[in-house]
């Protein structure tokens, strides 16, 4: 028997405090009790996001959060630039195309981070864009884009353009400072670094994004203006996922208790530990600028990544494989959820075991020793 473990970049394992909150009796959402929990969770979420207020909680996955942010702030038919450097960047390009925006897609080789010079070049050719769409942590390739730099360049060259950022796996994992960096939309979800089950999206908009959105009201379920009015009162327009909100409230306590900067540091340290240990097993890092949310690793020469993913699965451990073109070469374990240094060591030990089974000549404990060393030094 193996203990089932979720070691993929979402959904992640959630803490027992969250499971306990999820198991409580269902409360009616039009009550003072719910109102109190909801307002409390919203305030904590704003604290985690390092914004003054008004993070909206939607009952949906992260994708709907991004859809809502785009539709609320950019007029249909407007021109947007989408940074397409992996599966999620590609999703935002497709989303914008589906709604009839004029989309300029900045295509990057998978595994590469945005090169500011290339971005400057492209923005100079398209000074009329209404928004720039980017992912922060591109989970499909393991790249953390330098959103601070991207926003700086965009603010200079296209000052009118809004900067809409997919922070689904960066919130609670990588340094993220929406106000200091001048971001206009931060979108995230519950099932990643926030250690809550899937089902909630989070959306924060800057003042100037709200100002632009005043003239637009293109959606029904995802009407952010209506949500803002309701959520300030501790209510939602439609029935919220009450149990998930209770779970979120508990998860946020744990993250805020640890302190957001400590959470960033812990996840980065553990992720680097996995990457460094895997390198000692001939698994090269896939991302040129690693996101702390996921260890994107290449299978050693001669091995197929899906066999490695299956090897983990046989041992009860769910990691992610590569998507699309990266499928044959990429595998992606992650300590994004409720995980500590010993979980990182377990991933490394299982990787050794799996690679041995696939015929690699590895002495027992080789990568575990590397991991222990990294942990001791950092
Ligand atoms: C998980 C994820 C999403 C959201 O996907 P949903 O399935 O809609 O929750 C978006 N962007 C990134 C980078 C992700 O990792």
Residue 42 three-state SS: helix
Cβ–ligand 1 distance for 63 under 6 Å, the answer yes
From the CA of 65, give the closest atom in ligand 1. Answer: 8
- Other beta carbons less than 10 A from residue 177's beta carbon: 13
- What separation in Å is there between the alpha carbon of 13 and the centre of ligand 1? 16
Exposure string for 67-95, b = 16+ CB within 10 A, e = fewer: bbbbbbbbeeebbbbbbbbbbbbbbbbeb
Q: Which atom of ligand 1 is nearest to the CA of 66?
A: 10
Cite the residue boundaries of each domain of the chain with CATH code 3.90.1150.10: 5-10+260-377
Please tell me if the CB atom of residue 139 comes closer than 6 angstroms to any atom of ligand 1: yes
* Ligand 1 probe mutation, 6, 9, 10, 141, most atoms within 8 A of CB: 10
**For ligand 1, is residue 169 a contact (CB within 6 Å)?**
yes
Q: What is the rounded CA–CA span in Å between residue 46 and residue 168?
A: 15
Report the candidate in 223, 218, 249 with the shortest Cα–Cα distance to residue 58. Answer: 223
The model's pTM: 0.97
15, HSE (Cβ side, Cα atoms, 13 Å): 19
The secondary structure of residue 297, as a DSSP letter, is E
| pLDDT above 90 for 294 | yes
135 CA closest ligand 1 atom index: 13
- Helix H or strand E encompassing 41: helix 32-49
Does any ligand 1 atom lie closer than 6 A to the CB of residue 92? no
pLDDT (tens digit per residue) in 245-268: 999 999 999 999 999 999 999 999
Residue nearest to atom 12 of ligand 1 (CA): 168
CB 71 within 8 A of CB 96: no
- CA 66 to ligand 1 centroid distance, Å: 9
> Terminus-to-terminus CA distance in the chain, angstroms?
34
- CA of residue 59 to ligand 1 center, whole Å: 14
pLDDT of residue 119: 98
pLDDT given at position 128: 97
pLDDT of residue 369: 98
Per-residue model confidence (pLDDT) at position 219: 87
d(CA 230, CA 108): 40
Residue 42: left if φ>0, alpha if ψ -120 to 50, beta else—which one?
A: alpha
How remote is the CA of residue 63 from the centroid of ligand 1, in Å?
Answer: 6
Tell me the C-alpha distance between 224 and 237, whole Å.
10
Closest CA to 195 of 173, 178, 176: 173
Residue-wise pLDDT tens digits, 200-244: 999 999 999 999 987 676 789 999 999 999 999 999 999 999 999
Which residue in 233, 226, 254 sits closest to 34, CA to CA? 233
pLDDT at 195 over 70: yes
pLDDT tens, 46-76? 999 999 999 999 999 999 999 999 999 999 9
Domain at 16-257: CATH code:
3.40.640.10
Q: What is the mean pLDDT of the segment spanning 24-29? A: 97
- pLDDT by residue (tens digit) across 110-147? 999 999 999 999 999 999 999 999 999 999 999 999 99
Do residues 300 and 355 touch, judged by C-beta distance below 8 A? yes
Average pLDDT, the chain: 97
Four-way CATH pick for 5-10+260-377: 3.40.50.300, 3.90.1150.10, 3.40.50.11310, 3.30.1280.10: 3.90.1150.10
Mutate to test the pocket of ligand 1, among 8, 57, 93, 139 (most ligand atoms within 8 A of CB): 139
* φ, ψ dihedrals at 2, nearest 5°: -115, 145
DSSP secondary structure letters along 158-208? -TTSEEEEE-TTTTTTS---HHHHT-SEEEEETTSTT---S-EEEEEE-HH
Cα pseudo-dihedral 97, 170, 17, 12, rounded to 10: 70
Ligand 1 within 6 A of CB of 59: no
pLDDT value at 365 more than 80? yes
Is residue 60 in contact with ligand 1, taking CB distance under 6 Å?
Answer: no
Q: Please identify, by atom number, the ligand 1 atom nearest to the C-alpha of residue 166.
A: 11
Mean pLDDT (whole number) for 195-202: 98
Q: How far is Cα 358 from Cα 161, in angstroms, rounded to an integer? A: 50
Q: How far apart are CA 102 and CA 86, in angstroms?
A: 20
133 Cα–ligand 1 center, Å: 14
The SS3 call for residue 212 is helix
CA of 188 to the centre of ligand 1 (A): 8
Domain span(s) for CATH 3.40.640.10 in the chain:
16-257
Q: If you take atom 14 of ligand 1, which residue's CA is the nearest one?
A: 168
Pocket test for ligand 1, best of 144, 166, 195 (most atoms within 8 A of CB): 166
Answer yes or no: is the C-beta of 168 below 6 A from any ligand 1 atom.
yes
Q: What is the pLDDT of residues 68-115, one digit of tens each?
A: 999 999 999 999 999 999 999 999 999 999 999 999 999 999 999 999
Average pLDDT over residues 312-335: 97
88 ligand 1 Cβ < 6 A: yes
pLDDT at site 82? 98
Instruction: Name the nearest CA neighbour of 36 among 242, 209, 190, 174.
Output: 242
Of ligand 1's listed atoms, the one at least distance from the Cα of 64 is: 8
d(CA 144, CA 169): 10
Q: Which residues lie across from 114 on neighbouring strands?
A: none
pLDDT digits (tens, 9 = 90+) for 151-164: 999 999 999 999 99
pLDDT of 251 reads 98
pLDDT in tens, 327-338: 999 999 999 999
Provide the pLDDT for residue 217: 65
């Amino acid at each position: 028997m193996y203990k089932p473990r979720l070691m993929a970049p979402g959904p992640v394992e959630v803490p027992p405090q969250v499971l306990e909150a999820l198991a409580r009796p269902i409360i009616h959402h039009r009550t003072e009790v719910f109102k109190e929990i909801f307002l409390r969770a919203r305030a904590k979420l704003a604290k985690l996001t390092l914004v003054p207020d008004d993070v909206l909680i939607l009952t949906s996955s992260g994708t709907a959060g991004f859809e809502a942010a785009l539709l609320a702030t950019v007029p249909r038919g407007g021109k947007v630039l989408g940074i397409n450097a992996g599966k999620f960047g590609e999703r935002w390009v497709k989303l914008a195309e589906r709604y009839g925006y004029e989309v300029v897609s900045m295509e990057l080789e998978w595994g590469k981070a945005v090169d500011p010079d290339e971005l400057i070049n492209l923005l100079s050719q398209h000074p009329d864009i209404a928004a720039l769409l980017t992912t922060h942590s591109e989970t499909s390739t393991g790249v953390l884009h330098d959103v601070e730099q991207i926003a700086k360049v965009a603010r200079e060259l296209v000052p009118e353009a809004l900067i809409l950022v997919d922070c689904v796996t960066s919130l609670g994992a990588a340094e993220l400072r929406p106000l200091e960096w001048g971001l206009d939309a931060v979108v995230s979800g519950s099932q990643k670094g926030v250690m809550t089950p899937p089902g909630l999206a989070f959306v924060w908009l800057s003042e100037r994004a709200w100002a632009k959105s005043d003239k637009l009201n293109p959606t029904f379920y995802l009407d952010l203006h209506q949500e803002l009015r309701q959520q300030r009162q501790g209510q939602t327009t439609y029935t919220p996922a009450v149990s998930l909100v209770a779970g979120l409230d508990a998860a946020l306590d744990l993250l805020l208790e640890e302190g957001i900067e400590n959470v960033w540091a812990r996840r980065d340290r553990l992720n680097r530990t996995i990457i460094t240990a895997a390198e000692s097993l001939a698994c090269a890092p896939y991302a040129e600028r690693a996101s702390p949310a996921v260890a994107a690793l290449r299978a050693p020469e001669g091995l197929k990544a899906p066999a490695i993913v299956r090897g983990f699965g046989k041992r009860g451990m769910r990691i992610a494989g590569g998507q699309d073109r990266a499928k044959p070469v990429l595998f992606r374990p992650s300590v994004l959820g409720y995980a500590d240094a010993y979980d990182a060591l377990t991933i490394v030990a299982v990787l050794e075991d799996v690679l041995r089974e696939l015929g690699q000549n590895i002495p027992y404990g080789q990568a575990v020793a590397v991991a222990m060393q990294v942990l001791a030094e950092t």
